[in-house]
Structure 1
Amino acid sequence: MNNFDELCTAFLEQIKPSAVKDAMLYSFSAGGKRLRPKLLFAALESYGICAESGLRLAAAIEMIHTYSLIHDDLPAMDNDDLRRGKPTCHKQFDEATAILAGDGLLTEAFYYGATATADPAKNVRIVCAMAKAAGANGMILGQALDLEAEKKTACALSELAVIHQAKTGELLTLPLICAAIIADRDEDIEAWQTFGAKLGYYFQIQDDILDLSVSSEELGKSTSDLHNHKQTMATCLGIDEAKKLAEACYEELNQLCDKLSQPEPIRAILLTLHHRRR
């Protein structure tokens, strides 16, 4: 993954100098789990395809993710001060620069998605998948529903599941679908969608638990769910019941892994997530 980070930095270094470029590099190179690129590389490996062939696409997906974090931290959204162990982008620079940095990363992402492979037809499908996952029926919808839920005194678990699927699950499913596109395995897309949706649900429940049980210093980001009146699995169910639900999701994900022809690369990521503390 070190080579991946260096390559991504090199991509952004090609941008003309400005405060926005500095902000883009600041947030993008701040580290993080790089979960979405890892999922792409693992899915490609399960198809017998080398990770290097997915580097441009992995960078594109991580750019979308980083843009979403920059905007999610803004005063108009979650108003957070800490991200990946560093001041959030709008705190390090200013709000206008942070907004433009997020816009810049999102736009660059589609350039690298459109040039992800040597096959133009596959690139068109990849860009369409990116737009669907990140757009107004995907991640943006999830963020909008999440903001609306803050105004409610309570949310049904089914409502939270819809929010998690859109806000978190869509962008975790994206690399898996794209791997199937690259590998010419359209017949696997539905299975990847099922797995990605469950993974997003599991990941978000974990996040909800950690937000209430781990310090912001250990997490490397602000623990702002209570302050923002977020409706989460942990606040609705309590931490103990939320942990039971997360454990059940983990078991379901392992069962879904059993159905993959080469489950080991994905299962290794799943095991790492199961023991995460941030």
Structure 2
Amino acid sequence: MLNYDEKYERYLTEIDQALDRYLNEADTLYQSVISAMRYSILGAGKRVRAILLIEFCKACGGTQQLAMPFACALEMIHAYSLIHDDLPCMDNDELRRGKPSCWKEFGETTALLAGDGLLTKAFEAAASSTAQANLALRAMMELAKNAGTSGMLGGQVIDLEGEGKPVDEARLLKMYSMKTGALINSAAKIGCILAGADEERISLSHEFAEKIGLAFQIVDDILDVTGNEKILGKPIGSDVQSHKTTFVALHDLEYAKNKAIKLTEDAKSILTKFALEDDFLYELTDRLAVREN
């Protein structure tokens, strides 16, 4: 049996290979945007969302092959959101994953189109699913809802409109659950849905994702204060510079760390109700809470 690091590296390789196949277009007339799409998604990122989707699918009796089209779709949507977030009209970040942001490398126009291209390619990938039609349709609805105005996109609006304004904890947590938590929620739930899981396990996956999604964002807030830019792969202190309210700003660093740990432990307690093939998902959950990037 593979240990955690071996299994994680295998996931990274196999997910990247699948993404490469979806983005392997050779038409020279629009190669610039394909190059920008590939630059932004291949060979970088933790692939947390894709891995969660595959792991929950397998935990409910499905297979990696069954999960992979939607796993790739989630990664494409996540990558498109990062491209657009980095644009000068939004967060104006010049560094992403340790290299120039897409707009710095290819220009704003191509970056905008690359984000659009990844979003539409995501639904092309999801539509290639071999899952039962009713399950694939439900998964597609889950994906669209959580990527749109009631999920990630809406969370970005709340985030941008809160810059320079006092934000209370209720509004902040709502934004976190949408901007960051929505796609993590999609990952866990879609994995269960594709495998034909019952409603109880789908609900449990939702509870797990709510907790780990919030913990993930709180750790992001912590890293924006304490992180190493070279390890993090993006500028630190950007939230302060943008006058954004964060969980650390509302409370303090120690409280935020303890909250992330508590959410992580609560999430792991939910995993005991799934028939997992090994301890990989437990360790992944732990590592997300103590990560450096």
- Which TM-score bucket, shorter chain as reference? over 0.9
2:249 to 232, 235, 255: 235
Q: How many residues align?
A: 277
The range that moved more, 201-210 or 112-121, is: 112-121
Structure 1 equivalent of residue 121 of structure 2: 108
Contact 1:82 1:220 (C-alpha < 8 Å) held by counterparts: yes
Q: Is this contact kept in 1: 2:66–2:194, CA < 8 A?
A: no
Equivalents in 2 of 1:74, 1:186: separation in Å? Answer: 41
SS in 2 for 1:76: coil
Partner of 1:161: 173
- 2:60 corresponds to which residue? 47
Shift of 1:272: 2.1
Q: What amino acid is aligned across from residue 206 of structure 1 in structure 2?
A: V
Q: Deviations along 1:82-124, whole A, 9 cap, x unmatched?
A: 1111100000010010000000000000111122224222222
1:77-116 matches, cutoff 5 A: 77-116=90-129
Is 1:260 matched up with 2:271? no
The aligned runs of 1:78-227 (5 Å cut-off) are: 78-152=91-165, 154-187=166-199, 188-223=201-236, 224-227=238-241
Long gaps (5+) in structure 1: none
- AA of the residue aligned to 1:3: E
| Identity in percent | 39
In 2, Cα distance between equivalents of 1:38 and 1:76: 31
The residue identity in structure 1 corresponding to 2:197 is R
Deviations 1:148-190 (A, max 9, x none): 11131x3221211101100011100112111111111141222
3-state SS of the aligned residue for 1:13?
coil
Correspondent of 2:290 among 262, 275, 278: 275
- Poorly superposed stretches of 4+, deviation over 4 Å: none
The DSSP-based 3-state class of the residue aligned with 2:175 is helix
Q: Deviations over 1:27-61 (max 9, x none)?
A: 01141100001101211221233212211111111
For the aligned residues, what is the CA RMSD? 1.5
Unaligned runs of 5+ in 2: 1-11
Alpha-carbon distance in structure 2 between the residues aligned to 1:253 and 1:4: 25
Q: 1:113 to 1:250 in 2, by over 3 A?
A: same
Matches within 5 A, 1:6-17: 6-14=17-25, 16-17=27-28
Q: Describe the SS at the equivalent of 2:239.
A: coil
